[in-house]
């Protein structure tokens, strides 16, 4: 290899490696921001766990806030944990006891859920995923009515929506069956 081609090869490699470095850091920064906001949300949620004995949450899909850090705090405080289980569009969603490491199976919408044999429980605190919310604590869900029905079946449970602040809408139209939340927690704070 002559001096000249070595220099050219270095120049090309420099461009490629700078681009790779940039892509790597951009990816890192996105992950870091997501993690910081996830933990910030959990920080805001912590005081709302209170004396709850059974806390239900959900296994997040990629764009939903991950409630796992909140669940782990609840576990530390001695609460039991529960996850939802869905079997079909007309069957009500049920909550089943779950501890980190317990087996899960894939349910509808490719969301993992506890096995049917896991003990069924009635949570006294439900951390609910949502598509949107408003300042009056109306909730917009996936449109299947699973949470509306679960709230109606556990009227004494505290209902806390978990969302990113970007999910706030000016007004969510409320139907008669829509059960309002007691609070919404985002990475910015608590709305209640």
Ligand X SMILES: Nc1nc2c(c(=O)[nH]1)N(C=O)[C@@H](CNc1ccc(C(=O)N[C@@H](CCC(=O)O)C(=O)O)cc1)CN2
Binding-site residues, in ranges, read 10-14, 59, 64, 139-147
Q: How far is the CB of 36 from ligand X (least distance, A)?
A: 21
> Which of ligand ATP, ligand X, none has residue 121 at its interface (CB below 5 to 8 Å by kind)?
none
Q: Which of ligand ATP, ligand X, none is residue 37 near (CB under 5 to 8 Å by kind)?
A: none
Rounded to the nearest whole angstrom, what is the least distance from the CB of residue 113 to ligand X in the complex? 7
Task: Give the interface with ligand ATP as residue ranges (CB under 6 A).
Answer: 140-149, 152, 175, 177-178
Please enumerate, by residue number, every residue annotated as part of a binding site for ATP.
Answer: 10-14, 139-147
CB 109 to ligand X: min, Å: 4
Using CB atoms, what's the residue nearest to ligand ATP? 141
Q: Which two tokens stand for residue 46?
A: 């912590």
18 backbone dihedrals φ, ψ, rounded to 5°? -65, -40
Q: Which is nearer to ligand X, 19 or 61 (CB)?
A: 61
Which one of ligand ATP, ligand X, none interacts with residue 30, CB within 5 to 8 A by kind?
Answer: none
Of 64 and 97, nearer to ligand ATP (C-beta) is 64
* Nearest distance in Å: CB 61, ligand X: 5
CA triple 126-174-158, angle to 5 deg: 20
Any residues with CB less than 8 A from the CB of 41 and at least 6 apart, and which? 65, 70, 162, 185, 186, 187
Give the separation between CA 11 and CA 5, rounded to whole angstroms.
10
Q: Torsion over CA of 138, 94, 54 and 127, rounded to 10 degrees?
A: -30
CB 189 within 8 A of CB 163: no
C-alpha closest to that of 141 among 189, 192, 179: 179
**Based on CB atoms, which residue is closest to ligand X, 72 or 144?**
144
The distance in angstroms from the start CA to the end CA of the chain is: 70
- Cβ closest to ligand X, residue 24 vs residue 109: 109
Known binding-site residues for substrate equal 59, 64
């Amino acid at each position: 290899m002559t001096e000249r081609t070595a220099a050219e090869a270095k120049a090309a490699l420099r461009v490629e490696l700078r681009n790779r470095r940039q892509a790597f850091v951009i990816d890192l920064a996105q992950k870091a921001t997501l993690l910081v906001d996830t933990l910030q949300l959990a920080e805001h949620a912590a005081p709302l766990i209170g004396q709850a004995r059974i806390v239900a949450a959900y296994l997040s899909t990629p764009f939903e806030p991950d409630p796992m850090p909140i669940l782990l705090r609840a576990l530390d405080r001695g609460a039991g944990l529960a996850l939802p289980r869905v079997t079909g569009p007309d069957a009500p969603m049920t909550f089943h006891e779950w501890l980190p490491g317990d087996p899960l199976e894939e349910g509808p919408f490719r969301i993992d859920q506890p096995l049917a044999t896991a003990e069924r429980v009635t949570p006294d605190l439900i951390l609910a995923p949502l598509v949107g919310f408003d300042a009056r604590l109306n909730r917009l869900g996936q449109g299947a009515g699973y949470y509306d029905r679960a709230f109606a079946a556990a009227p004494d449970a505290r209902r806390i929506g978990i969302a990113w602040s970007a999910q706030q809408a000016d007004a969510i139209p409320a139907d008669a069956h829509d059960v309002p939340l007691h609070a919404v927690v985002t990475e910015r704070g608590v709305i209640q």
